[in-house]
Amino acid sequence: MQIMAVRWGIDDDSDPSVSHRAYWSGNLAAWDYVIGMKRRGVNIRVTANSYAQLGAESIAVREVIEMAAAEGILSVFAAGPQGVNQDLFSTFPGAFNLASIINVTGSSQTDALANESTFGASTIDLAAPGVNILSTSKAPDYETESGASVACPQVAGAAALLLSINSNLTANEIKAALFGSVDQPSAMRGKLVTSGRLNVAQPPQDSQPRRTSRSESHSIVP
């Protein structure tokens, strides 16, 4: 496995209207780069996307994610830190009802949803550890972070592990394997599509049917 870092974003968000346009413009440029590299032969199968905007739907971003899906790329998104019911107040791009997306929220050490974690029985797929996660920082050191932004790359990493075992897996097969092996603590029942938290060590249990896609429940289609 290899990791390709893609840097994008804005340095000054003091003007909300300008920053909104710049935000999605930079995001589209990043996606164009990823898709271009894939078409040049770089074996990109999974992207980790630790960003979200409440209610900031962009059709252009949806279309570029669909383009990535056509290239065989699975897109894992952070659901956002707003602590809202995403079935009612969507955060994008994770809330797009696309088969190539996994929408992730954060869980705590007690197997509950982390503080301010977004939830949604038909829009957020699963949780992953999202409290006091050791991560790199701008300084030449490490620090602990919390939120869906640190939960998202753990799910992307789990997808990459599956691909390291079987590189022929499709996006749907990866999702089925990850969703079918979640732990389902009582605190998450009815709050997520799978009602569960990522468990990389647990093989999928065919004897325990679980939702593996948002299409099996009502979904908000932007």
Lowest mean pLDDT among 26-35, 67-76, 136-145, 184-193: 136-145
The answer to whether the Cα torsion of 176, 131, 164, 160 is positive or negative is positive
Lowest mean pLDDT among 44-48, 171-175, 193-197, 207-211: 207-211
- pLDDT tier, 81 (very low <50, low <70, confident <90, very high otherwise): confident
The pLDDT value recorded for residue 140 is 79
Best CA proximity match to 33, nearest among 67, 1, 10, 56: 67
CB burial class (10 A; 0-12, 13-18, 19+) of residue 22?
A: middle
- pLDDT tier, 210 (very low <50, low <70, confident <90, very high otherwise): very low
Fold classification of 18-200 (topology level) = Rossmann fold (3.40.50)
State how far the Cα of 47 lies from the Cα of 74, in Å rounded to an integer. 6
Those residues whose C-beta lies under 8 Å from the C-beta of residue 19, and which sit 6 or more positions away, are 10, 12, 13
Domain ranges of the chain: 18-200
Pair of tokens at residue 104 = 């992730």
Beta partners for 143?
135
Q: Is pLDDT at 222 greater than 70 in this prediction?
A: no
State how far the Cα of 26 lies from the Cα of 10, in Å rounded to an integer. 8
Q: Is pLDDT at 182 greater than 70 in this prediction?
A: yes
pTM, whole model, 2 decimals?
A: 0.87
Pair of tokens at residue 73 = 């790329």
